[in-house]
Amino acid sequence: MSDYIIEMKNITKKFPGIVANDSVSIQIKKGEVYALLGENGAGKSTLMSMLFGMYEPDEGEIYVRGKKETISSPKYATQLNIGMVHQHFKLVSNFTITENIIMGMEPQKKFLGILPYVDVKGSDKKIAELSREYGLEVDPTKRIDEINVSTQQRVEILKMLYREAEILIFDEPTAVLTPQEIEFLLDIIKGLKEAGKTIILITHKLEEIKKVADRCAILCKGKLVDVLDVATTSTKEMANKMVGREVNFEVDKPEPHYGKEVLSVQNLTVKDDNGFDVVKNASFSIRGGEILAIAGVSGNGQVELADAIAGLMPAAGGKIILNGQDITHDNIRKRIDDGIAYIPEDRQKYGLILDFQLKENFPLKNYCKEPFSKKGILNYSEFDSFGEKLIEKYDIRSGQGNKTIVRSMSGGNQQKAIIAREVEQDASLVIFVQPTRGLDIGAIENIHKQIVAEREKGKAILLISLELDEVMSLADTIAVIYSGEILKVADAKTLSVKEVGEFMMGVKGNETKK
């Protein structure tokens, strides 16, 4: 009997074209918080998917509690007391919390001793108890669509606990949470550890590892780089190992030199499909050489605000003025031509045509202009040379260069491609929405540099981000949005993280209003 609850030995997993895991061996002790750290595409999720039975390894062996196991399905993994919280929750939105948790193993009772039925009431009680036991307060009778994201995550955790999981895998659990919610989740993880559970945390956020993890395995390009003791290692060291080079956390940002006003948004109101005001009376302005960051919790109207400026959503009221010209009712192409570049939040749905080749995606906004086409006839040699230039300049990595179908590229490189295209527009206003979402440290660093470089060129930058750190380190001016209203606009230097956080929750804004 070994001391390790889980041992994965020489695991290799290949997908067409890439080796996701290359002879990776990890050993996890019972009762520890074990973090898996790595850039996007480093193979963290693949490794854990094999432990959870979603894939089978091509080579290598998995031992659970010292016994060799072939984990052929998630069902079998559950029998081995392994549970996983996926990055995207797997819940039925019109079921109650209880119904979601018991789904697949519903306790049955018999009415009048014959007719079987699902014992929901009894389960409600059981789940309420379970949630109290681990400090995960939820109301079991609420429906999933009535509760917020962080509660949904708690439901996922309860689902594992209900199935008596001893080994809990969290896949990027904090990606969707606000700073306050992250704190709370980390407390939960600590609590679970105290209750004797073994926890595997997949993440690329170093602070979280520093806060809760005991040991940390670093993966880079499918290979295990090192296993570190978290307490004795600095975050900087971890970051360097993860990226494979020196990482600069601080964003080098020279003093701002503001030019003249580029964008002015005046009393802008935007309605959603249901006629509901999602942006209410928003006003702000951005000068050349200025980064205005909009901070806010997800779903408070940020995306709609950006869409309205770019022309994807109509303005229901107010004015949008670009370089002194009223563009409120112009169409999208006119705005592009007038100088708006836009890096959208959903890079796959809006930013790219995934089934086009890379070179066909670069001129997505310029294909109709010279030199890419003349009188309606495309000039493909121009597509080729432009593509090669951008791939080189922005270090976009892909399997077959220019000819790669974009769908097959990693998220980070897809984002690089969008940023390359938009920056090359040489527009006077560049809108970045969540530019680093889901990206690893190396890519984030790169994108932050790009944003600052654009500012130095005298562009006006509108940055919309859910990452408070990103807002704090990049912004010259911060605007906080809450429930569609801009509660505060102020020089970044005059605001503390705590204050911004409070505005984001709508606390402070309401007080000052009264």
Partner 1 sequence: MKQKNNSIAKFFVKMLGNEKYQFITIPVFSIIVSLLVGAIVILLLGKNPVEAYGNLLQGSGLLMKEKYAGGKGMLTDFLSFVDYWTPMIFAALAVAVALKAGLFNIGVSGQMLAAGFIASVTVGYSTLAAPIAKPLVIIICFVVGSLVGGLIGFLKHKFNINEVVSSIMLNYIVQYVTAFFIYTKYVDPVSRQSKNIADAARLTLKNVEIGALKGDIPLGIILAVIVAFIIKYVFDKTTFGYEIKAIGFNTNASKYAGINVGKNMVIAMMISGGLAGLAGATYYLGYFCSMQPKVLAATGYDAIAVSLLGNSNPMGILASSFLINIINKGSTYMSSKAGLDAEIASVITGLILLFSACGAYIQYLVKKNKDKIEENKKAKGEA
Binding stretches for partner 1 (CB under 8 A): 16, 310, 312, 331-333, 335-336, 342, 344, 349-356, 360, 364-365, 367-368, 373, 376-378, 380
Q: How many residues does the chain have?
A: 514
Q: How many CB atoms lie within 10 A of CB 253?
A: 16
Q: Which residue has the tokens 């890519």?
A: 443
> What is the rounded end-to-end Cα distance, in angstroms, of the chain?
66
324 vs 376 by CB, closer to partner 1: 376
Q: Residue 188 or residue 343: which is nearer to partner 1 going by CB?
A: 343
- Nearest approach, Cβ of 338 to partner 1 (angstroms)? 11
Are 356 and 406 in contact by the 8 Å Cβ rule? The answer is yes
d(CA 4, CA 304): 50
Question: Which is nearer to partner 1, 219 or 352 (by Cβ)?
Answer: 352
* Residues contacting 275, CB < 8 A, separation 6+: none
As measured in angstroms, the least distance from the Cβ of 346 to partner 1 is 8
Q: How near is the Cβ of 16 to partner 1 at its closest, in Å?
A: 6
Smaller CB distance to partner 1: residue 251 or 378? Answer: 378
How does DSSP assign 45-63, residue by residue?
Answer: HHHHHHHTTSS--SEEEEE
Task: Give the DSSP H or E segment for 471.
Answer: helix 468-474
8 exposure class (CB count in 10 Å sphere: 0-12, 13-18, 19+): buried
Cα–chain center distance at 167: 24
By three-state DSSP, how is residue 10 classified?
strand
Amino acid at 184: F
Paired with 215 in beta bridges are 34, 229
Question: Least distance (Å) from partner 1 to the CB of residue 382?
Answer: 12
Tell the smallest beta-carbon distance from residue 362 to partner 1 (Å).
11
For partner 1, give the closer residue by CB, 360 or 445: 360
The two tokens of residue 171 are: 């896949």
Q: Check residue 97 and give left, alpha or beta (phi > 0: left; psi -120 to 50: alpha).
A: alpha
Q: Which helix (H) or strand (E) holds 444?
A: helix 441-456
Pair 481, 294: CB distance under 8 Å? yes
Choose between 215 and 359: whose C-beta lies nearer to partner 1: 359
**Minimum CB distance to partner 1, residue 14 (Å):** 8
Phi/psi-derived region of residue 451, left when phi > 0, alpha when psi is between -120 and 50, beta in every other case: alpha
C-beta closer to partner 1: residue 236 or 333:
333
Closer of 45 and 414 to partner 1 (Cβ): 414
In the numeric block, the tokens 């708006």 are attached to 340
In angstroms, give the least distance from the CB of 314 to partner 1: 13
Contacts of range 388-394, beta carbons closer than 8 Å, 24 or more positions apart: 390/362, 390/417, 390/420, 390/421, 390/424, 391/358, 393/420, 394/419, 394/420
What token pair was written down for 101? 């948790």
Shortest distance, position 236 Cβ to partner 1, whole Å: 38
Nearer to partner 1, 160 or 423 (CB): 423
- Closest approach, Cβ 15 to partner 1, in A, equals 11
Q: Which is closer to partner 1, CB of 110 or CB of 329?
A: 329
Q: How far is the CB of 13 from partner 1 (least distance, A)?
A: 14
